[in-house]
Structure 1
Amino acid sequence: MTLAGGIALVVAFGVAGQVGARALRVPSILVLLGLGLLVGPILGWLDPDAVFGDALFPLVSMAVGLLLFEESLKLDFTRLRGGARRPVLGLVTTGALLTGAGATAIAYLFLDLTWGRAAVIGAILIVSGPTVVGPLLAMIRPRQPVESVLAFEGIFIDPIGATVALAVANVVLHAEPVRLLETAGSGLLIGAAGAALLVVLIRFGRVPKETEVVLAFAFALGVYALAEAGHDEAGLFATTALGAALANQRVARTEPLHEFGTHIGLLLIGSLFIVLSARVDLEALVRYALPTAGIVALLVLVLRPLVAIVSTWGTGLRWSDRAMIGWMAPRGIVAASTASVFALEFEDAGAPFPQLVPVIFGVVLLTAVVYGFTGTPAAKLLGVRADEAESLDADGVPVSRTV
């Protein structure tokens, strides 16, 4: 297949998966995973390594960087107000640490790994994500404040978890804490400087409003490339810092930038997941199916309920609300994409990590299925389902609500 044909196929199936998932009101990740496996290992229409060659890793890494920029644009801490503020803060701080540590121990228990490699899997499994949480909440319709807690946790946890995973992977790959500090520091500095420059241009440079999204896209690509030129893997830190800084500054109005997620973000998610799932080795997926099922069982039945109990302790939530929060922790596109990027990095370093992609993809698939089928019955059983569906925005966040 030619490069042009491969790109057209990826975009076509990526868009079709997103449209179909929204029409069916199911998490898009399930449809995209199925389509990617179909056109990749099942039918053999798409071989990303053959189509993109040596450009595959840089392109995937850049796409993940743009995706983290889009996720970080939602990281506006002023939205953390009201009765759900403490639960959300607990889940993305204490909860994230407990999830990472617990998932690391679970991965070590079920897989033949060193503690370092188990920690990479554990760190990746910190993330959740609005692209999978949003559709599930729309189906389950939990009452407030449960809906807001779960929606905002999904928004905030992705860039936080991805940053932790990036740091852990760097330590395991290079075993040089100084190098990690240099990589993270340079990336964060470049991202913050890029945000400052973009804010000045928007506020004082008379940038036409209709070009702000395209300009932000160009800035995200620019800070990624500049950071990568100095230190490998610094680009992901840079794009995360760029988005978070823009989300929390009050000098310039940046509301149009949220169109990034509506248009460019959806295109990125669809295309990226088609490419990544087309590279999945079905034999490896089957080989690690049993340990992956064991990992998911402990994540769902033990770790998440424990994390919810500890993170929401003393917040004033009812026990039924806390129980529902403990029964909702799917993994999404950021987990799958960061796992794929790290797997490529391990291969490039001459230290293959064959368990990483099939296990993470298996966890993504199984958690989406488990919570998709059990979420509504659990909400009814606990008595936390809203009487009427509340409208959610594209990120799965309750409209006109803050937490």
Structure 2
Amino acid sequence: MESLLFKLMLIGSLGVLSQWVAWRFRLPAIVVMAIVGLMAGPIFGIMNPQNDLGELYSPLISIAVGIILFEGSLSLDLREIRGLGKPIFRIVSIGALLAWLLGSLAAHYVADLSWAVSFVIGGIFIVTGPTVILPLLRQAKLKPRPAAILKWEGIIVDPFGALIAVFAFEFIKFLTIDTVTFATVLAFLTGSLLAVVIGVFFGYGVGWMFENGFVPEFLKSPIVLITVIMAFVLSDTVMHETGLLAVTVMGMTLANMHISSIGDMRHFKENISILLVSAIFIMLTASLNRETLLSIFDWNIIAFILLMLFVARPLTIFLSTIGTDLQFKEKLLVGWIAPRGIVALTVSGYFAGILLEAGFDDAVILTSLTFGLVFSTVVIHGFSLGWMSKKLGLSTESKPGVLIVGSSKFSVNFAKVLQDLNIPVLVSDSSWSRLSHARRLDVPYENCEILSEQTDYQIDLTPFEYMISVTEYDSYNTLISSTFVPSFGREHLYQLPLQVNQGDHLEDVSKHISGKQLFEEGANWTSLNEKINGGYMFKKTSITDQYSFKQYLADREEGSVLLMVARKSGSIDFFSPSNDTKAEVGDTVISLTKPNNH
């Protein structure tokens, strides 16, 4: 028991540590997890989760796959599909079918797999998955069009890869059994239909209970988790392998009910999915044996991977986007980038077992084949996306951008200074009249409510590393900061100091929900805009060997406000009471000073 507890602790620790290392050093997380899992498993032999966990191993993998698929389907809002445009619709419909067909043909003729196994693995390999593609997009800082295509392909196709694999497996299994009768086929179709009913029932039931106040806030996340498991197990008990269909339908049902608690559920599934992705990926890679690892270098598997990389994927994109407005270079980039990830590996591990049980002996190489493709695509695409997007002119500015929430004379003039420094900047405000300042100075702006659920699709957040909330209302600034913590992280969220006696008269707020204080004490909305009206100007001061930052501070006139430092490296640092911001030689200090300050 102690040994098992230690192994479980080790799996969780290595998974989360891998995620942290990937974040800290800007590496593809799945690459780090794969390396850590291989080192802990087949290389150094520290653990073998499949043997250590025994009968628990397969159920844990199965439930994890169900929860991960629920995560993907919870993002599938049909309103968003209608607004995605012709290229994306083509890629997620015609493109997905082409990818399935080409992947299956490659698996049969090149990897030498039977038709049954080929069509199952072909379905699994259409999935790119948001857990892999989104971190890569944020690092590469693609322009909105290619980023949107890759992002939504990953989210929309994600739930359907396993579904296609399920149906392919069931139908081919029935076709290869001599005793197949109409009754058995009808039983399968009935079981599949029942899985859909179970998914709709549980999804609608949870949504209705949440909306009508039958569940307290502190129980919502646990109820979602246990309900997903219930839907999966109940459906799988009635008809094997239909649990995946049930949880996917459940997620889609919830996503399209547009309930107010959907944001809470998304936070839940993001957190639980990160933990599951980490733990399950470590378990899967650590359970590989050295023979499986070495078999990846088999010529058939290498040829299959090369064919998927250089023929199947590009052909799928170019054929499915004929007649759309996609440029050739956009097709080239999208046709190259298709990293497979955790869903592909976990689902293939799930199907490897049931295919072997069904008598398809060639399924024994399924794990090797999938791991080879996953590892190859994540490494190659992860490290080539940034380089290729720059070569094709499809990446945004490499400098970290700033998203400014709240249009005023101060914020728009500050945005103009950032724009002059070639720092990507956008001013967002729900009021068209307040945005007149931005229109007058020709500063990029977006007329939208930043807290709307449509924000992700109206504003491309990829170029922006920082968000600063500079509206007149302190409570609104705090709400924005707490809402966008998952997207930006606390270190990159700033808001103006409280006004206390002005605005909404907010006297205090918990640091746990607010952003970092921007600039300095007293530099609130009223003070900054009064300074602009009083003639204060933005000043850029270069720090040199002859003029140090210490000398600059000594010369600074009383009443001026230190705003930020533009580093010579291209990064930026805002002045804040919580930051010990200092400028070095080659940096530029931005301040708000009196017009006669030279």
TM-score normalized with structure 2 length: 0.63
Q: How many residues align?
A: 398
Q: Structure 1's 360 and 53: CA in aligned 2 closer, same or farther, altered over 3 A?
A: same
| Equivalences for residues 197-236 of structure 1 within 5 A | 197-236=205-244
Deviations 1:366-395 (A, max 9, x none): 011221232222212222111256799xxx
Q: Name 1:135's counterpart in structure 2.
A: 135
Cα distance in 2 between the residues matched to 1:192 and 1:26: 38
Q: Name 2:425's counterpart in structure 1.
A: none
Give the helix-richer structure, 1 or 2.
1
Partner of 2:364, secondary structure, is: coil
Cα distance in 2 between the residues matched to 1:60 and 1:46: 17
Q: Structure 1's 390 and 360: CA in aligned 2 closer, same or farther, altered over 3 A?
A: farther
Q: Name 1:70's counterpart in structure 2.
A: 71
1:401 aligns with 2:458: yes
Q: Structure 1's 131 and 172: CA in aligned 2 closer, same or farther, altered over 3 A?
A: same
Partner of 1:132, secondary structure, is: helix
Query: What are the ranges of 5 or more consecutive residues in structure 1 without an aligned counterpart?
Result: none
| Equivalences for residues 316-395 of structure 1 within 5 A | 316-352=325-361, 353-388=363-398
Partner of 1:354, secondary structure, is: helix
Cα distance in 2 between the residues matched to 1:402 and 1:97: 30
Equivalent residues of 1:148, 1:398 under 8 A apart:
no
Q: Name 1:49's counterpart in structure 2.
A: 50
Cα distance in 2 between the residues matched to 1:385 and 1:43: 40
Equivalent residues of 1:26, 1:135 under 8 A apart:
no
Which of the pair has more CA radius of gyration? 2
Partner of 1:330, secondary structure, is: coil
Equivalent residues of 1:183, 1:233 under 8 A apart:
no
Q: Structure 1's 229 and 253: CA in aligned 2 closer, same or farther, altered over 3 A?
A: same
Q: Structure 1's 318 and 49: CA in aligned 2 closer, same or farther, altered over 3 A?
A: closer
The offset of 1:179, in angstroms, is: 4.5
Q: Name 1:25's counterpart in structure 2.
A: 26
Tell me: higher relative CO, structure 1 or 2? Use CA pairs within 8 A at least 6 residues apart. Answer: 1
The offset of 1:48, in angstroms, is: 1.8
Larger displacement relative to structure 2 (181-190 or 32-41)? 181-190
Partner of 1:263, secondary structure, is: helix
Cα distance in 1 between the residues matched to 2:265 and 2:72: 12
One of 166, 183, 186 as aligned partner of 2:191: 183
Cα distance in 2 between the residues matched to 1:107 and 1:333: 20
User: Which letter does structure 2 place at the counterpart of 1:93?
Assistant: S
One of 305, 310, 314 as aligned partner of 1:301: 310
Equivalent residues of 2:66, 2:232 under 8 A apart:
yes
Q: Name 2:162's counterpart in structure 1.
A: 162
Identity of aligned residues (%): 32
Equivalent residues of 2:117, 2:355 under 8 A apart:
no
1:114 aligns with 2:114: yes
Deviations 1:328-374 (A, max 9, x none): 11111100000000112123345442110000010000011221232
Equivalent residues of 1:331, 1:367 under 8 A apart:
yes
1:314 aligns with 2:356: no
The offset of 1:139, in angstroms, is: 2.5
Q: Name 2:81's counterpart in structure 1.
A: 80
Cα distance in 2 between the residues matched to 1:391 and 1:345: 50
Q: Structure 1's 68 and 390: CA in aligned 2 closer, same or farther, altered over 3 A?
A: farther
Deviations 1:22-77 (A, max 9, x none): 22222221111111111111122222232221222122111111111111111112
Q: Structure 1's 390 and 46: CA in aligned 2 closer, same or farther, altered over 3 A?
A: farther
Cα distance in 1 between the residues matched to 2:102 and 2:268: 34
Equivalent residues of 1:107, 1:118 under 8 A apart:
yes
Larger displacement relative to structure 2 (64-73 or 376-385)? 376-385
Larger displacement relative to structure 2 (204-213 or 317-326)? 204-213
The offset of 1:400, in angstroms, is: 5.4
The offset of 1:99, in angstroms, is: 0.3
TM-score normalized with structure 1 length: 0.92
Cα distance in 2 between the residues matched to 1:86 and 1:188: 28
Larger displacement relative to structure 2 (196-205 or 349-358)? 349-358
Larger displacement relative to structure 2 (244-253 or 323-332)? 244-253
Q: Name 1:126's counterpart in structure 2.
A: 126
Partner of 2:300, secondary structure, is: helix
Query: What are the ranges of 5 or more consecutive residues in structure 2 without an aligned counterpart?
Result: 404-453, 461-598
Equivalent residues of 1:27, 1:131 under 8 A apart:
no
One of 267, 274, 292 as aligned partner of 1:266: 274
The offset of 1:18, in angstroms, is: 1.5
Q: Structure 1's 109 and 264: CA in aligned 2 closer, same or farther, altered over 3 A?
A: same
The CA RMSD over aligned residues, in Å, is: 2.3
The offset of 1:109, in angstroms, is: 2.1
